[in-house]
Homo-oligomer: A and B are copies of this chain.
Amino acid sequence: MMFASDNAGPAAPELMQAVIAANEGPSMPYGNDPLTASVRARVREIFEAPSAEVFLVATGTAANALALGALVEPWQTVFCHRNAHIEEDECGAPEFYTGGAKLTLLEGDHAKIDPAGFARALTFTARAGVHNVQKGALSITQATELGAVYTPAEVRALADIARAEGLPVHMDGTRFSNAVARLGCTPAELTWKAGVDVLCLGASKCGAMAAEAVIFFDADEAKTWEFQLRRKRGGHLFSKMRYVAAQMDRWLADGLWLDLAGRANAAADRLAAGLGEGNLATLLHPVDANALFASLPRSAHQRLHGAGAKYYLWPFDQPLEGPGDEMLSCRLVCNWATSQAEVDAFLAAARG
């Protein structure tokens, strides 16, 4: 019963086989290998973006921070939701890679940025003279840290505001596959067609060991060369790139990435439905992707912990032990390998 994080799940066997297959004989290092080229071709096809440039790294934090470093100057600010991963969970990596840019924190339900609030923040920052940090970029997390998903129209609404100010749009797509699998739209509709300039496409949380693609939909050569220098300078250029590429290549082949994401989403749906029966729990956010945020009575949490379920009370500082049986909120994350049996065992333990 592992619901602590999608990071806790295994890699998909198809990807492991691809890595084994990639291990035959020598191969030129640093991305000068056929698998890296294949990933580029797949991304261009899947995203209907023939001039997209694609760079591989191995962690989502590296992808986000390197992308933001390429988009903003040190004296600029990145507009993002208060709960964005880049704000809350990367130990300041965006600040490090941008050379000290700010993050301007926006509000919005379910960790989705409220467009009106974004527009207001831009107006306020618009006064910016030489004393002020300048407007830099917009960063959207898809799916959000609270398990919600932006529709293409919602992405476009935000991107339009950004672009009207000349700001590039970054998408933290750590769980982009979950969003596409849920929405049923095309990857292009959810990204460049909606105004996204750079997508960090994450496979690590959904079937890979460690593979992330930074996709520039329409960058010039100088910009992508600069990105490559930043990647190397950050220590994120893999000598034996073929093993990262093999994962991403297989993940993107034959729709496997959406299949895996769909499985995680389905497990979350089953869990949500089960928690909803008999008012076992209150769902705190829409279950658009593979994560649930729910409130359960303390007694239910105690039973679950006793039964060995792994997940986090959210926020962390709620005491599992205590006199009353009040509701405590928690985060439950499914991954591609979460089984129906695992979900059902969780529900049974919660019910007691």
| Cβ-closest chain B residue relative to A15 | B23
In the complex, whether A102 has a CB less than 8 A from a CB of chain B is: yes
CA distance A63 to B238 in the complex (A): 12
| Cβ-closest chain B residue relative to A133 | B92
In the complex, whether A93 has a CB less than 8 A from a CB of chain B is: yes
Count contacts on A: residues with CB < 8 A to the other chain.
82
Q: Are B10 and A232 in contact (CB under 8 A)?
A: no
| From B8, B27, B30, B96, contact of A130 by CB (8 A) | B30
Interfacial residues of chain A within 186-225, with CB under 8 A of chain B in the complex? 204-205, 209-210
In the complex, whether A297 has a CB less than 8 A from a CB of chain B is: no
Question: Could you say which of A97, A229, A310 has the most chain B C-beta atoms within 10 Å of its C-beta?
Answer: A229
Q: Are B23 and A8 in contact (CB under 8 A)?
A: no
In the complex, whether A167 has a CB less than 8 A from a CB of chain B is: no
Question: Shortest CB–CB separation between residue A131 and chain B, in angstroms?
Answer: 5
From A34-42, A45-53, A54-62, the one touching the partner chain is A54-62
Q: Are A134 and B229 in contact (CB under 8 A)?
A: yes
| From B24, B124, B234, contact of A96 by CB (8 A) | B234
CA distance A210 to B57 in the complex (A): 12
In the complex, whether A228 has a CB less than 8 A from a CB of chain B is: yes
| Cβ-closest chain B residue relative to A20 | B16
Interface string of A313-350 (1 = CB under 8 A from B): 00111000000000000000001010000000000000
In the complex, whether A352 has a CB less than 8 A from a CB of chain B is: no
A10 and B30 in contact (CB under 8 A), knowing A74-B96, A130-B237, A235-B62? Answer: no
Question: Shortest CB–CB separation between residue A128 and chain B, in angstroms?
Answer: 9
| From B16, B101, B103, B124, contact of A19 by CB (8 A) | B16
| Cβ-closest chain B residue relative to A11 | B23
| From B91, B229, B317, contact of A232 by CB (8 A) | B91
Question: Shortest CB–CB separation between residue A176 and chain B, in angstroms?
Answer: 16
Q: Which residues of B contact A20 (CB under 8 A)?
A: 16, 20
Question: Could you say which of A92, A102, A134, A234 has the most chain B C-beta atoms within 10 Å of its C-beta?
Answer: A92
- Partner-B contacts on A (CB < 8 A): 2, 4-5, 7-11, 13, 16, 19-20, 23-30, 57-63, 65-66, 73-75, 88-93, 95-103, 105, 123-124, 126-127, 130-134, 204-205, 209-210, 226, 228-230, 232-240, 243-244, 310, 315-317, 335, 337
